[in-house]
């Protein structure tokens, strides 16, 4: 273990989706490889992809991924404030891993009450800093939202509290990289400007030599060094934080693979459930946004949702519900995960208005289950056996609501039963990560493979390999020795 004390490092962005999370993940792995004991931290996250800690608390998926890259279990201290959008202007607020109600965006982002949230974030950071070195902090969105600066708890105010050295991540792929980098720095207060010690230009395409002059120009106008120019890395697969990533996963049919359509819900959550299937050599997985997309599918999956009733109503209005029922009637496989499982039942009721104004809707009627939304939220990691298979599988639950059925087919480690299956091609479960497990993958693909390949996929081993690949990639394109010079106390 390297006992040299490092200052915390913070990755901030010129905007959203510039690659802060990915670079933070890679730096966590680099620090681990170099003998340190890193931990990730993001004071406030807004995302529908979340994860359950070993203690049964809920955090953003990105921080769980960064904890994996750091070689440590995830904890609620790594993301003490999580906002999960549930409507156009409303989010569920998760504090220290536990839901504490819904807030509209206007009231949440006003300055009133921010000191309480700031104290929660600072306390969580302090607990991490007492045990880990260094802390890799991630900001949120752009650091140049001047209208939000007075109430900021996640960007430069957090850097000031932690005494962090700040690295600005700029996305060259979307254009305007000089203006966005220069503007992001110049719009800071003089004190915050001094905290920015370097720039990483991310998502470069083409010959890096073409940016040699650009690098020098950026350093001249911004007054800070460019620590690296990082190319796109499509060969490295790290779980994504936001549904923005789905834009590049459009519908396309394949005639030599099993076509799996994931229904693209308005409030889709935890779409990382399908990453393992997506990489299976005999699978073509795509996201279906129209009824026509489903026509080409062998398997249709209804994913998780942050607002089950709203998404169920939308499926009925846009014709997707009818297309899913037609797929089932045609003998295709239909699977529901979490909110998708709820939608496949007889009805979903919300007598306490947990999700909004809709109190009850009929489900798709594919499974004999009934769901009632309840104030209590289930968040836990689980081990289970799938359909009497002897292999122990792993997953996690994050859901509102209680579902009853007399046809469970999954046995949890504590002996309780879960899920519902009417036949081999129609089932649902609350378990996220269900489709990461080999017995489940083999089961759903078996009807469609005349000559199945022997594919053994260990998701944990694969993830570790990807973290190492990411670390190697960043070492190649970022001046890591210079970065160490910056953050050494």
Contact 316, 348 (CB under 8 A): no
Best CA proximity match to 42, nearest among 144, 148, 140? 140
Provide the token pair at 391: 């292999």
Under DSSP, the state recorded for 328 is H
Under DSSP, is residue 286 helix (H, G, I), strand (E, B) or coil?
strand
C-alpha triplet 30, 21, 87: angle, nearest 5°: 160
- Asked whether the bond before 353 is cis by omega within 30 degrees of 0, the reply is no
- Contacts for 231 with CB less than 8 Å, ≥ 6 apart: 203, 204, 205, 208, 477
Of the listed 165, 267, 280, 432, which one is catalytic? 432
How far apart, in whole angstroms, are the C-alpha atoms of residue 326 and residue 366?
11
How far apart, in whole angstroms, are the C-alpha atoms of residue 117 and residue 157?
13
Of the listed 28, 74, 222, 338, which one is catalytic? 338
Decide if 338 is catalytic: yes
Considering just the CA atoms, what is the radius of gyration of the chain in Å? 23
Contact 432, 397 (CB under 8 A): yes
Provide the token pair at 463: 């993830």
Distances (CA, A) of 117 to 45, 100, 105, 124: 13, 12, 15, 11
Residue that the structure tokens 């009807």 belong to:
447
Dihedral sign, CA of 383, 384, 386, 392? Answer: positive
Provide the token pair at 453: 């390949």
| Residues annotated as catalytic (active site), given as ranges | 338, 432
């Amino acid at each position: 273990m390297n006992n040299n004390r490092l200052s915390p490092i913070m990755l901030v962005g010129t905007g959203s989706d510039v690659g802060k999370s990915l670079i933070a993940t890679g730096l966590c792995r680099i620090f681990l490889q170099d003998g340190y004991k890193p931990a990730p931290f993001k004071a406030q996250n807004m995302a529908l992809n979340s994860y359950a800690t070993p203690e049964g608390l809920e955090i953003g998926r990105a921080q769980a991924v960064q904890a994996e890259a750091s070689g440590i279990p995830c904890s609620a201290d790594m993301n003490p404030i999580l906002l999960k959008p549930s409507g156009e202007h409303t989010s569920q607020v998760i504090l220290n891993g536990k839901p504490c109600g819904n807030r509209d965006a206007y009231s949440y982002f006003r300055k009133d009450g921010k000191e309480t949230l700031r104290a929660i974030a600072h306390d969580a950071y302090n607990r991490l800093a007492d045990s880990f070195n260094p802390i890799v902090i991630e900001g949120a969105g752009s650091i140049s939202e001047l209208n939000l600066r007075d109430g900021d708890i996640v960007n430069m105010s957090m850097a000031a509290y932690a005494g962090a050295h700040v690295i600005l991540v700029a996305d060259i792929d979307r254009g305007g990289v000089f203006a966005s980098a220069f503007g992001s720095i110049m719009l800071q207060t003089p004190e915050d400007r001094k905290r920015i010690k370097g720039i990483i230009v991310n998502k470069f395409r083409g010959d890096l030599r073409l940016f040699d002059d650009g690098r020098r120009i950026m350093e001249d106008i911004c007054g800070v060094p460019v620590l690296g120019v990082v190319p796109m890395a499509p060969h490295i697969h790290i779980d994504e934080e936001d549904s923005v990533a789905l834009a590049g996963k459009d519908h396309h049919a394949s005639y030599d693979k099993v076509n799996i359509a994931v229904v693209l819900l308005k409030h889709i959550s935890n779409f990382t459930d399908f990453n393992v299937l997506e990489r299976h050599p005999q699978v073509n997985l795509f996201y279906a946004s129209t009824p026509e997309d489903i026509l080409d599918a062998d398997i249709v999956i209804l994913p998780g949702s942050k607002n089950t009733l709203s998404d169920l109503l939308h499926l009925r209005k846009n014709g997707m519900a009818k297309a899913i029922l037609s797929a089932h009637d045609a003998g295709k496989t239909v699977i529901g995960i979490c909110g998708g499982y709820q939608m496949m039942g007889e009805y979903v009721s919300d007598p306490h208005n947990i999700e909004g104004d809709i109190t009850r809707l009929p489900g798709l009627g594919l499974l004999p289950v009934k769901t009632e939304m309840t104030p209590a939220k289930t968040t836990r990691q689980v081990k289970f056996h799938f359909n009497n298979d002897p292999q122990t599988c792993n997953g996690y639950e994050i859901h509102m609501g209680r579902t009853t059925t007399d046809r469970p087919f999954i046995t949890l480690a504590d002996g309780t039963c879960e899920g519902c299956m009417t036949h081999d091609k129609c089932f649902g479960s609350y378990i996220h990560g269900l489709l990461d497990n080999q017995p489940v993958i083999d089961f759903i693909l078996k009807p469609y493979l005349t000559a199945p390949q022997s594919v053994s996929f260990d998701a944990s081993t694969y993830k570790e390999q990807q973290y190492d690949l990411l670390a190697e990639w960043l070492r190649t394109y970022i001046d890591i020795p210079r970065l160490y010079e910056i953050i050494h106390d």
